[in-house]
Amino acid sequence: MTQGQDQDSPVFIIGLPRSGTTLMRMMLSSHPQLAIAPETNFLNSWMRIYGHLDPTRPRDFELFWSKLTAGELFPSFGITPAGVRARIDGLGDPGFRGIFTAICQEYAARTGKARWGEKTPRHADYLDTLLQWFPAARVLYMQRDPRAVTSSILAKNWARSSRFPHVHARRWRRSMRGVLARAGQGNVMLVSYEDLVADGESVLRRICDFIGEQYHPNMLARSDAALYRLYPDDEKTLRDLPVLKPLNPASLYKWRDRLTPVQVAIIEHESEPEMSRLGYRPEARCRPLPWRLKLLWQRMLRPLEAGLKLPWKKIFTGGAATMIKRWLP
């Protein structure tokens, strides 16, 4: 690709959390031409909270910019507000698209790579926006067994993540349904995490053909991938990253030891028919009554849990505050 084509055809990695998006980012970032920025959470968080602003208006731009630059995003990427601001001016687009583009391009410039991209799993919910903004983009959707995804999320115990398996299984089903409808349109590729772990080179070669780059052996080796994680990082963190270790097919089925029979039954029930459509065979060994009662109880509790896990501080100090300031003289 020429330099102009590189800028017009970014590479995006999306999918559910714990589906292999970080591994794929490390692999692509090890390519000599590709700089895949870490998670910006731009569409699913920043635009969701500040979507009432119109950054093409100077006052709204400054309100959004003050919030964006006050956080850890720029320092963690190793970039500066001044550098990103200069890029926005150069693009001539102070809107959300231009700001997002400038952040990713500035990150690519820091790494010395020609072609930019970005990895935010939750951007899977905003695929239409990504393709509207960047019609020539190439999108890699990481697909993984819903039982493995759910098991891994539950093990992480993130503060804002649900403790109910059916929530993650339903999200997996909705997300897969949406991407399957787009997968044959030429700019979205479904990448099986299981295939990637079992035969990494073959999958990476297909990906390179899809995005229009030459395969490079270092993509599989990931010998310098630690350089492209969040910046800065201490040596121990980089050394212990699981995504930098050799691919291990034995790790694909850890969920069998982590999930209870009731959890497996709930996940499989909520993931169909997409689960079977993608070749994941049901393995539940549980009588219907226990898991159905558990599912009913968790569905009743879910609205309360969802309300408690909302980022209320960010909503009020961020979105609500800028909404008020916007209308002040």
| 19 contacts 179 by C-beta, under 8 angstroms | no
| pLDDT value, residue 236 | 57
Q: What is the pLDDT of residue 105?
A: 97
Sequence-separated (6 or more) residues with CB below 8 Å from residue 194: 144, 145, 252
The angle that helices 81-91 and 96-111 make with each other, rounded to 10 degrees, is 120
CATH architecture entry for 3-327? 3-Layer(aba) Sandwich (3.40)
Question: Quick one: pLDDT at residue 183?
Answer: 78
Sheet with 115-119, strands from edge to edge, namely: 34-37, 115-119, 11-15, 138-143, 188-192
Q: How far apart are CA 80 and CA 212, in angstroms?
A: 30
pLDDT in tens, 13-68: 999 999 999 999 999 999 999 999 999 999 999 999 999 999 999 999 999 999 99
pLDDT at site 62: 95
Q: What is the rounded CA–CA span in Å between residue 146 and residue 129?
A: 25
CA–CA separation, 178 vs 181, rounded Å?
A: 5
Phi, psi of 12 (to 5 degrees): -115, 140
What is the per-residue pLDDT for 329?
Answer: 52
Domain ranges of the chain: 3-327
Ranges of residues in the chain whose predicted pLDDT is under 70: 1-7, 159, 225-226, 228-240, 312-329
- Are 129 and 14 in contact by the 8 Å Cβ rule? The answer is no
| pTM for this entry | 0.90
Place of tokens 């098991």: 151
Burial 120-132 (b: 16+ CB within 10 A, else e): bbbbbbbbeebbe
Nearest residue to 210 via CA among 310, 299, 118, 137: 137
Q: What DSSP assignment string belongs to 229-274?
A: SSSS--HHHHHT-GGGSPP-GGGGGTHHHHS-HHHHHHHHHHHTTH
- Give the model's pLDDT for residue 327: 61
| pLDDT confidence of residue 71 | 85
What one-character DSSP code corresponds to residue 43?
I
- Do residues 31 and 213 make contact, with C-beta atoms less than 8 angstroms apart? yes
